[in-house]
């Protein structure tokens, strides 16, 4: 994907460029949405996650283990590894400039947000200072959907929320892996699936 997306009049979408550090993680999240939705529905129903009769459908729905593992690494990085503070300044500044209610906000608003995220331990919860690019982008986008103005208090809370959600997705990945492996084992035992393995024993 290109770093810039030109429009018909030659303008470039600055959000595509600014949010690029988060894109791989956000793409993985979109890619797994059907599987995550299925998992949420199964938990809501109270039934078992795996049923033998559904093994074929589950193979189609849930990606292979290496795909899930790669997504899990991205989600863990979104929880644990903060983006550079300079990038956060740029992303928050762009978000403020894009909102009519915030476009003329003082630079102090941006500095207040970054100060809280990187220098106020009370905002970190059990994590270290700062937030990842994926967490901040999701927080900015949710703020844009729901509110007319990006405020420090609100954005900080949304960052905390989305970091918790990425942490929960890591557990979801583990459950999906268990279901995928059970489906593979079932179909292989029935002669309906032949698994190949690399030198490390991975599927």
**Are the C-beta atoms of 198 and 179 separated by less than 8 Å?**
no
So where are the chain's domains? 15-189
Q: What is the CA radius of gyration of the chain?
A: 20
Give residue 62's Cα distance to chain centre. 17
In the chain the beta strands, taken as DSSP E runs, fall at none
User: Is the model's pLDDT at 8 over the cut of 70?
Assistant: no
Neighbours of 107 (CB within 10 A): 10
**Are the C-beta atoms of 104 and 56 separated by less than 8 Å?**
no
Question: pTM of whole model > 0.85?
Answer: yes
Over the stretch 43-99, which tens digit does the pLDDT of each residue have? 999 989 999 999 999 999 999 999 999 999 999 999 999 999 999 999 999 999 888
């Amino acid at each position: 994907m290109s770093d810039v997306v030109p429009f018909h009049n030659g303008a470039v979408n600055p959000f595509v460029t600014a949010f690029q550090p988060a894109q791989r993680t956000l793409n993985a999240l979109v890619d797994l949405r059907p599987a995550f939705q299925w998992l949420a529905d199964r938990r809501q129903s109270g039934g078992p996650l795996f049923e033998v009769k559904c093994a074929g459908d589950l193979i189609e729905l849930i990606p292979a283990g290496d795909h899930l593992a790669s997504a899990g690494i991205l989600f863990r990085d979104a929880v644990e590894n903060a983006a550079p503070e300079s990038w956060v300044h740029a992303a928050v500044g762009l978000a403020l400039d894009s909102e009519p209610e915030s476009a003329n906000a003082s630079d102090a608003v941006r500095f207040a947000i970054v100060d809280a995220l990187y220098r106020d331990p009370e905002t970190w919860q059990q994590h270290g200072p700062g937030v990842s690019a994926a967490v901040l982008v999701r927080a900015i986008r949710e703020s844009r959907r729901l509110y007319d103005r990006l405020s420090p208090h609100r954005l900080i809370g949304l960052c905390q929320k989305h970091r918790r959600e990425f942490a929960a997705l890591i557990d979801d990945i583990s459950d999906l892996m268990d279901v995928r492996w059970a489906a593979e084992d079932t179909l292989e035992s029935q002669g309906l699936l032949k698994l190949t393995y690399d030198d490390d024993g991975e599927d």
